[in-house]
Amino acid sequence: MSKGTVYALVNQKGGTGKTQSAENIGIGLADEGKKVLLVDMDPQGSLTISLGYPMTDDIPVTITDIMANILQEIPIEPGEGIIHHTEGVDLMPANISLAGMEVSLVNAMGRERILKEYIDSVKHNYDAVLLDCSPSLGMLTINAMTAADKLIIPMQAQYLSAKGLEALLQTVNKVKRQMNPGLKIDGILLTMVDGRTNYSKQISELVRNVYGGKINVYATEIPHSVRAAEISAAGKSIYKHDPKGKVAVAYRQLTKEVLKNAEIARKHSAYEL
């Protein structure tokens, strides 16, 4: 993994497992000895809450304050606002004030690059930075895509999710053309897969057949699990909540896939030099 690789987890559809994946890939990478920063880019503060900080309005510094400082050209102190989590990752939290920031960005100069300016200033301290995006294709998500090197696209193994992928890919191509030519899709991640139903299997096959030739679809699928649904309320990762469960096993496997992709990319770029 190249130092400071930035991943954005994106899908304009809600309920696809973005936050759960950001948290568990991040902590999975930390367990593999990587230094990881998680950035909550959702005004609902889902990632912040699921890491055990439910009173998001009481957090003194959030990503909103950081972006506001950049807009006003106020210097940011090293490590400002970053929370060190007991499971070995760092967190830049968010709360509802981020919704107001999205509105402020509309008239800002270089509005797509505000987050990138912050991420570029801190990513050298980390092996990986993971941005958990809100379920929309608004200005915050565009900021995340502009700041990212790679995208992880979690999607439910359902027909409507597969349909929504087209709109997302159009936005990705637009960002690549206009703001971030180096942006790549690391993979499509099938989540909440119910292995007992043919329907889930059919959607999984459909996604692999339609997109697999052009875009990596991770071999690992995240199974549907009631235990996994409890983790956001528990305020800890799946590895702590249900370490031997099938979801924890899947996220460990997925983490290894992400690392393997990063290693292949690193060798490839070294070869090109």
CA-CA-CA-CA torsion sign (145, 166, 48, 58):
positive
Between 267 and 114, where is the model more confident? 114
Q: Flag whether pLDDT at 214 surpasses 80.
A: yes
Percentage of the chain beyond pLDDT 90 is 71
For 53-84, write each residue's pLDDT tens digit.
Answer: 999 999 999 999 999 999 999 999 999 999 99
List of domains in the chain? 5-272 (3.40.50.300)
Strand partners, 86: none
Question: Which whole-number Å values give the CA distances from 41 to 6, 55, 140, 180, in the listed order?
Answer: 13, 17, 7, 18
Conformation bin of residue 110: beta by default, left when phi > 0, alpha when psi is -120 to 50 = left
For 118-159, write each residue's pLDDT tens digit.
Answer: 999 999 999 999 999 999 999 999 999 999 999 999 998 776
Mean pLDDT within 165-186: 94
State residue 3's pLDDT score: 83
Q: What are phi and psi of 141, to 5 degrees?
A: -70, -40
pTM of the model: 0.95
Q: In angstroms, rounded to a whole number, what is the distance separating the alpha carbons of residues 260 and 223? A: 21
Rounded to 5°, the CA angle 139-150-128 comes to 100
Q: Flag whether pLDDT at 273 surpasses 60.
A: no
Q: What is the 3-state secondary structure (H, E, C) of 175-216?
A: HHHHCCCCCEEEEEEEECECCCCHHHHHHHHHHHHHHCCCCC
